Every structure is written in C-alpha cells, then in structure tokens.
C-alpha cells in the first residue's frame, strides 16, 4: 500500500475543490494511506516580502519531512511524465514501504530550500495551475496510479 503525505500551503476553501478532494481520498482508500498537511500561507504585502514568506513556509514544510522519504516538489521547472511512468514510480515506492511526500507551494511557489531538499521535481503540466487545482489534480493522478497498480482499467 502506498504511504503518501501531501504537504500544501493554504487550505482548500472552495466547495468544489473540497468535494473533489473528498471523493478522491475516498477512492484512494483501498490503494493508499494519504495524509494531508496544510501549512498556513504567510501573508505579505509587497513583492519583495514574498521571498521572506516562502522561507518561513519552507521552515514549516521541512518539519514534516521524514528520513528516508521520497520528497517530490511540484514545480514548474520539474519534469513532466506519463501517467504510466508515475504509476511505476508509485509502485516501486509501495514495494519499499517508503513514504512519498508531495509538496505543493502557495501562490508564489516554493522556496529554493525545499526545491534543493526534494528528491525529485515534478511538473503536472507545462501550463500553470492554482495550488488548489494542483492539489486535486495530484490526488486524481495518485488515484489513477493506484488503479494501474491494481490492474484496473480506470486509466484507459
């Protein structure tokens, strides 16, 4: 079984996102143990203060890293991969028992300290999405990977 932690900046507030997340977490139950960690977004007023806010968020994020985990940071500079390759990576992690930690930044992205600590940078698309949409999209892809690993036909 997959052991996954999703660390995200901010909370889901929109009803549609909450409903989608609840649906995917329910669907994921047979495939994965998912833990969601919501880190409060650090407010800032001026663009020059955004970097300081990201650093503070990074400090909070890092506290949730566990030794031996695969840390995957969602980042626009990350690699895009196929759903099948993603499923293979998740399958190999499930077989080792390692925890997979996905990190989703806030509206200004992730601090470089998190990028540098990540085992792997993943981009969900060449397009840019809100962090809330990215969260639900990631959950859908984890579910899709789980169905592939289980031999179900959902992914086709």
127 is in an annotated binding site: yes
- Structure-block tokens of residue 90: 């998740």
**Residue 107 to residue 75: CA distance in whole angstroms:** 12
Query: Residue 155 pLDDT > 70, yes or no?
Result: no
Q: What is the pLDDT of residue 152?
A: 86
pLDDT band (50, 70, 90) for residue 47: confident
Q: What is the pLDDT of residue 1?
A: 85
pLDDT of residue 21 exceeding 90, the answer is: yes
Residue 126 assigned as binding residue: yes
What tens digit of pLDDT does each residue of 57-110 get?
999 999 999 999 999 999 999 999 999 999 999 999 999 989 999 999 998 899
Query: Would you say 124 is a known binding-site residue?
Result: yes
Does 34 have pLDDT greater than 90?
yes
Domains and CATH numbers, the chain: 2-149 (3.40.1280.10)
Is 151 labelled a binding residue?
A: no
Instruction: Tell me how far the alpha carbon of residue 10 is from its chain's centroid.
Output: 13
Residue 47 among known ligand-binding residues? no
Residue 60 marked as a ligand binder: no
Res 90: pLDDT: 95
- Edge-first strand listing for the sheet containing 32-39: 32-39, 2-9, 99-104, 70-79, 120-122
Q: What percent of the chain has pLDDT over 70?
A: 98
Interstrand relation of 120-122 and 70-79 (parallel, antiparallel or unpaired): parallel
């Amino acid at each position: 079984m997959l052991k996954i932690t999703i660390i995200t900046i901010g909370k889901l507030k929109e009803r549609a996102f909450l409903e989608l997340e609840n649906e995917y977490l329910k669907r994921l139950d047979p495939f994965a143990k998912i833990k969601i960690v919501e880190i409060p977004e650090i407010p800032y007023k001026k663009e020059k203060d955004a970097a300081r806010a990201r650093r503070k968020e990074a400090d909070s994020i890092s506290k949730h890293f566990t030794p031996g985990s695969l840390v995957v940071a969602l980042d626009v500079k990350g690699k895009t991969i196929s759903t099948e390759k993603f499923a293979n990576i998740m399958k190999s992690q499930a077989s080792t028992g390692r925890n997979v930690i996905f990190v989703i930044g806030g509206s200004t992205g992730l601090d470089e300290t998190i990028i540098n600590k990540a085992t792997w940078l993943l981009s969900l698309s060449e397009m840019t999405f809100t962090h809330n949409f990215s969260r639900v999209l990631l959950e859908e892809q984890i579910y899709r990977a789980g169905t592939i690993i289980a031999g179900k036909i959902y992914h086709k």
